[in-house]
Structures are given as structure tokens and as C-alpha cells.
Chain A
Amino acid sequence: MSGFDFDVIQRSVWYLFRDGMTFTVTLTLMAMAGGIVFGTLLAMMRLSSFAPLAWVAGAYVNLMRSVPLVLVIFWFFFLVPYIGAWIIGEKTPIKVGAFWSAVITFTMFEAAYYCEIMRAGIQSIARGQVAASLALGLDYWQTMGHIVLPQAFRNMVPVLLTQTIILFQDTSLVYVISATDFLGAAAKVANRDYRLVEMYSFVALVYFVISFAASYYVRSLQGRIAVIR
């Protein structure tokens, strides 16, 4: 292994995790929370009997799922400042910054995928459950909030978490807007010290260990949370 300098990892590991991994994990968790909330609303729209609502949600989901993520990241990065300015009535583009731009992008993008998961989850709840809830006098929102969504969500937790693991890996794409996520931080060190192979190998290993451990956990969770019928 002569010629390789694995010492560079030891020298930079604190920086990689303190700055890089914090960014990556925060982004992942925020995008997951936002994506699931927005995705659930989209799913409810898609399943609405009011056609225009279903159409709008369907178009959004299909659009997001048909364009490459890198493109969406670029697109939002350059567009969000203008949209923000337009919303608050400023003339000049507002400053958003790489982090918040990334949070918005991933929330919007992942919502399309979470939407499809929640849609399947909602459809997995027997129609009789809705009928029983309505028959008791609960309205649409109460039925959704107390009966359908809790069951749908519970059924779909393993799939939602699996999607979140994919999201965790996808966040590394923020390097295209020069954000310092885990990969971005490693890239900076790699370029500075000219230790590309060592750093990228280490990054790959860390992503693998975290994602693999998380998938393993999701599998073990699957059996434990099922609702008895």
C-alpha cells in the first residue's frame, strides 16, 4: 500500500463529521419530515374525488419523478432566490444559501416519492374503515387524521424509512452547489491534500456502513410494528 496516505483520514475525520456529517444528517432529517408531510398532502390530493386536485398532484409527482435530481437541485438553487423575492415583493433576489436551498429542493423532490408510498398506504386501508368512521359522524379530516393516516403510516413505516436511506445517499448530490456536506467536506480535504483515492474510499465506506446498518434496522422493525387484525 505504498503511496497511499491513510493518515489524512485521521487528520480530517473530526472536521468531516462535525461539519460534513452534521450537514448531511440535518438535511436528511429535515427533508424527510417536510417530504412526508408534503407527500401525505399530495397523496390525499391524488386520491381526491375532486378531479382538478387529483390532476395537479399527479402532474407534480410525475414531473418530479421524471427529471434528474441534479437538475432539480440546480434549478431550485438558482430559482428559489427569485421566487422568494417575488413572494415577499423584493426587487432583488433574496439570499437563501446552499443549506436552505437544499432543504427546500429535497423536500419538494422527495415529497413526490413519499406521496406514492403514502398513496399506497392509504389505499391499503380497507374502505370499510372509512365507512365505519363516517358512519360514526366523523368528517373527512377527522377520518383521515384519526383512522386512515395513522394506520397507513404505520403500515408504510418500513418503506418510508427505506426511502429515507435513499434520500440520505442522494443528499451527497448537493456537492454540485458547493455545499459542505459529508462528501463535500471530504472532497475539499481530498483536493487540498491531493488524497483523492483515500478520501473517497473512506467516504464510500462510511455511507455503506450507515446505510447498511439502517436497512438492517428497518428489516428488524418490520416484524415488530405490524398491527394485529
Chain B
Amino acid sequence: MISIQNVSKWFGTFPVLTDCSTEVQKGQVVVVCGPSGSGKSTLIKCVNALEPFQKGRILVDGISVGDPRTDLPKLRSRVGMVFQHFELFPHLTVTENLTLAQIKVLNRQKDAAVAKGRKLLERVGLAEHRDKFPGNLSGGQQQRVAIARALCMDPIAMLFDEPTSALDPEMINEVLDVMVELAQEGMTMMVVTHEMGFARKVAHRVIFMDGGRIVEDASKDEFFGTPRSERAQLFLSKILQH
């Protein structure tokens, strides 16, 4: 579904990604972790071309992301993305947040878009908040709306960029629960996160990045058993202490 082939990226002369290659099969959940500044967010943003890259190739459902002839809006509309800081549109109501792209990008009728939005809002347990503005919701609620917004587009895959790291601790679980449910339903997911509990529960594979390189790309059991690289072992020992 998502194929990343020898991708490199520089900011000026500074390398942020070096020769990264991996695959996410249909229905797989892949967790990307690593210390901050390791390039994991940048890598996931390359997948839907929010960040350009200078070398290599990324294919999403067989379509090359870096190809200038690719219809990017169309490609992006098929790949859902959830951001660290939610990025709901604060001047629009929850319902408008959910329907805008359905109407403008997928050309759905307003009634159909609203119905779809309501269904997904119910699914994340926020149906009664549909007429509120994002600023009146808690962080956890906002992130669940953001997930619903992405799901409204019927995506073929979902990208999560540290979806819980801006949340207060007591709200992390309500968001993770939604994500676990999604994973169990067979959604293809690429998740940048430090939530190792989530990784243990639903991930098929774990990718560990450091210094812009993919250092470890292993099945979940292998990764939590004994990571091959020392760097990953050190990282795991640090974040699993708590």
C-alpha cells in the first residue's frame, strides 16, 4: 500500500532523511518511533507530500508521490492524516470541519456529507458535540474529531503524526482506544508515536529511526524481544522504564 524506496531529504546541506526504505502492506499497522529529531515526522509527511524529498521514491497504492505529474490533492484525499496539534479549523463548527473536504474535494452532496460526518462522530463518541466549535472541546475530543474528519474521506490508509503527544495524560487513552479499534478493523496505518503500549497491542511492525535513518525495521515481537541495534535497545530501556 505504502512503499518507501531509498528516500533521502536535505534541509540545505543538512541531511534529515538518509536512504530510508520500508513497506506498509494493506491492513498492516506500522509504528514509527525514535528520539526527537530522528526524522520520523518528516518521513511520514513525505508520504502525502506535505514535505518534499530530494531522492528516492514513494508509492502510495502504486502512485508515485514525488512525480510532478501526480494529482496531489486527489492522492492526499485518499490518505488520512492526523496531526500532533489536531489542526481542526477553529472558525468552523465540528460538522463543518467534517464536511468541508467531502463537499469540496469528493463533490459529495451536503446532506450525504453531513450524514457521513454524523456517523463517524458517533463512532468516536462525540455526536452531541457536532454544532460546537473546536475551541470548546478538550484536546482529546479535538483529536477524536480530527480522526473522524480524516475517516470521512474513506481513506485507503491513515497516517498519524504523534497523535497523543500534545494531550494531557488522562486524555491519551480515549484517543488510543479509537486508534486501536481502527487497527483491529484492518485499516492500513502508519503511526509515529512513543506509545509503546499501543505498539504492543496492535502493531504488526515497529520501525526505529535515529539520525534520519531507519535503524531497525522488525516485527513487533522481534522488536520488543531483543532489538538488534544498541541504539534501539537504549531507547527502549529509557521509555519503558515508566
Contacts and interface: CB of A to CB of B under 8 A. Distances in A.
Interface of A: 126, 128-129, 131-139, 142, 146-147, 150-151, 154, 227-229
A146 B105 CA distance: 12
B198 interface: no
Interface in B56-82: 72-81
Contact of A129 (B45, B76, B89): B89
A21 to B, nearest CB: 35
Given A142-B104, A146-B104, A227-B135, A135 B89 contact: no
Contacts of B81: 132, 135
A154 B73 CA distance: 27
Contact of A136 (B85, B91, B136, B149): B149
Q: Which 7 A-B pairs have the closest CB atoms?
A: A137-B77, A228-B135, A132-B87, A136-B101, A137-B105, A135-B81, A128-B87
Contacts of B186: none
Contacts of A229: 90, 134-135
A24 B3 CA distance: 64
A165 B120 CA distance: 47
B153 interface: yes
B65 to A, nearest CB: 13
A142 B102 CA distance: 13
Contact of B76 (A128, A135, A150, A228): A135
Residue of B78, B90, B153 with most chain A CB atoms under a 10 A cut-off: B90
A132 B89 contact: yes
Interface of B: 45, 48, 50, 72-81, 83, 85, 87-91, 100-101, 104-106, 133-136, 149-150, 153
B50 A134 contact: yes
Given A228-B136, A229-B90, A136 B83 contact: no
Interface centre among A128, A136, A147 (most CB of B within 10 A): A136
A146 B99 CA distance: 12
Please report whether the interface of chain A is mostly helix, strand, loop or mixed according to DSSP. helix
Contacts of B83: 128, 131-132, 135
Contacts of A138: 73, 100-101, 104-105
B90 A136 contact: no
Contact of B85 (A128, A133, A139, A154): A128
Contacts of B45: 131
Nearest to B89: A147
Contacts of B101: 136-138
Given A128-B85, A136-B153, A228-B133, A151 B50 contact: no
Contacts of B150: 135-136
A133 B153 CA distance: 13
Contact of A151 (B48, B85, B90): B90
B46 to A, nearest CB: 13
Contact of B153 (A126, A137, A150): A137
Contacts of A134: 50, 72-73, 76
6 contacts: A131-B50, A135-B76, A136-B153, A137-B78, A142-B104, A228-B135
A154 B101 CA distance: 21
Given A128-B87, A151-B91, A227-B135, A136 B77 contact: yes
